[in-house]
Amino acid sequence: MKYLVTGADGFIGSHLVEYILKQGGSVRALSMYNSFNSWGWLENICDISKVEVVSGDIRDPHFCRTIVKEIDVVFHLAALIAIPYSYAAPESYVDTNVKGTLNICQAALDAGVKKIIHTSTSEVYGTAKYVPIDESHPLQPQSPYSASKIAADSMAMSFFNSFNLPLVIARPFNTYGPRQSARAVIPSIIIQIASGMKEIKLGDVSPTRDFNYVEDTCRGFWLLSQCQEALGKVVNIGSNSEISVQDTLELIKRIMKSDVQFIIDEARIRPKNSEVHRLWCDNTLINRLTGYTPEVAMELGLTRTVQWFTSPENIVKYKANIYNV
């Protein structure tokens, strides 16, 4: 089987490429075109010589038709994901997340792709109206980013309903692990502590999240790609647990043997009605469809993440003193 991973140069995408290779799949990996010829996190994976890396942009429909040729399964992860940046540049999110998804779906349909796994996000649910959050929970666009992903999900599902495009919408909750962007709270905490800061800057630490280690998220993607019964469905991928940002900070401090204190950085506070205060995944559906359950407990996952980020060759890639939106 030949697999296309869009957004392969990113955090989850690069791990997914590695996971597919371990399953014996052949991978074409899309990296965002840039003049530096950088392949992002793909340059850090094992067996990169076995991967067909292509550079381009999903915003171009002609390019999308090219990259889906001779592909059996598409994992569509390419997206603009940073919530704070979506306040500053919302149109960019429509162009990439909505129009880009349209381009990938149309190209996949025209090429006769056997299956497409479209990536959603738990942010589309907004602050939980009930917990745990199942796939029937109302969608609440609390940021331009989440609005663009709601639209992208709808565009993808319309291709299933209108044109019988064999499609699954995978909706991962908060994924963490090695290679994650410093814009996310767990890497931000680790990097600031590892840099020797006595006071670290965070936003609101009261919200809760369902954190899932990246290998578990990738396994969820893989299992959905192998499950015919999942076609036409939205499926959560998460741990079926929740933890506050405050308690996550305390756990990381214990793992890193740190007595660091945190201070509130106003720049990291979301607008009042935009903050998602509670996310807790109900993973009953993916368990029923595929037998999926997370395998990496949070303390083990955080320990692995701390070990990766605190390695000198890795932490040098991050800027602890700059708030990465």
> Given this model, what pLDDT does residue 177 score?
98
> Given this model, what pLDDT does residue 158 score?
98
Contact 239, 133 (CB under 8 A): no
Count of H-run helices and E-run strands, the chain:
12, 13
13 closest CA partner among 177, 159, 156, 182: 177
User: Quick one: residue 78, left, alpha or beta (phi over 0 = left, psi -120 to 50 = alpha)?
Assistant: beta
**Does residue 87 sit in the same domain as residue 201?**
no
Please state, in angstroms and rounded to a whole number, the distance separating the CA atoms of residues 193 and 320: 9
Range of the domain at 270: 177-209+241-279+297-315
Asked if the bond preceding 132 is cis, omega within 30° of 0, the reply is yes
CATH code: domain of residue 183: 3.90.25.10
**Does residue 184 sit in the same domain as residue 158?**
no
97 closest CA partner among 30, 145, 63, 64: 145
Model's pTM, two decimal places? 0.96
**Does residue 144 sit in the same domain as residue 246?**
no
**Does residue 119 sit in the same domain as residue 151?**
yes
Quick one: which H or E segment has residue 289? helix 284-290
Token pair for residue 98?
Answer: 């909505």
**Does residue 114 sit in the same domain as residue 141?**
yes
**Dihedral sign (CA 96, 102, 103, 105):** positive
> Given this model, what pLDDT does residue 244 score?
97
Please state, in angstroms and rounded to a whole number, the distance separating the CA atoms of residues 322 and 325: 9
> Given this model, what pLDDT does residue 321 score?
78
> Given this model, what pLDDT does residue 184 score?
92
**Does residue 57 sit in the same domain as residue 76?**
yes
CATH code: domain of residue 36: 3.40.50.720
> Given this model, what pLDDT does residue 201 score?
86
**Does residue 273 sit in the same domain as residue 137?**
no
> Given this model, what pLDDT does residue 188 score?
92
Token pair for residue 235?
Answer: 């499926």
Paired sense of beta strands 167-172 and 211-213, if any:
unpaired
**Does residue 81 sit in the same domain as residue 124?**
yes
Q: DSSP letter string over 128-191? A: -SSSSB-TTSPP---SHHHHHHHHHHHHHHHHHHHH---EEEEEE-EEE-TT--TTSHHHHHHH
Q: What is the domain count for the chain?
A: 2
Token pair 């796994």 is found at: 117
Burial bucket for residue 168 (CB in 10 Å: 0-12, 13-18, 19+): buried
Q: In tens digits, what is the pLDDT along the chain, a chain of 325 residues? A: 999 999 999 999 999 999 999 999 999 999 999 999 999 999 999 889 999 999 999 999 999 999 999 999 999 999 999 999 999 999 999 999 999 999 999 999 999 999 999 999 999 999 999 999 999 999 999 999 999 999 999 999 999 999 999 999 999 999 999 999 998 999 999 999 999 988 888 888 999 999 999 999 999 999 999 999 999 999 999 999 999 999 999 999 999 999 999 888 888 888 888 999 999 999 999 999 999 999 999 999 999 999 999 999 999 999 887 777 7
Please state, in angstroms and rounded to a whole number, the distance separating the CA atoms of residues 277 and 255: 25
**Does residue 13 sit in the same domain as residue 60?**
yes
> Given this model, what pLDDT does residue 203 score?
85
**Does residue 83 sit in the same domain as residue 218?**
yes
> Given this model, what pLDDT does residue 325 score?
75
11 closest CA partner among 185, 179, 219: 179
Can you name the residues that pair with 3 across neighbouring β-strands?
Answer: 27, 73
> Given this model, what pLDDT does residue 206 score?
92
**Does residue 165 sit in the same domain as residue 189?**
no
**Does residue 19 sit in the same domain as residue 141?**
yes
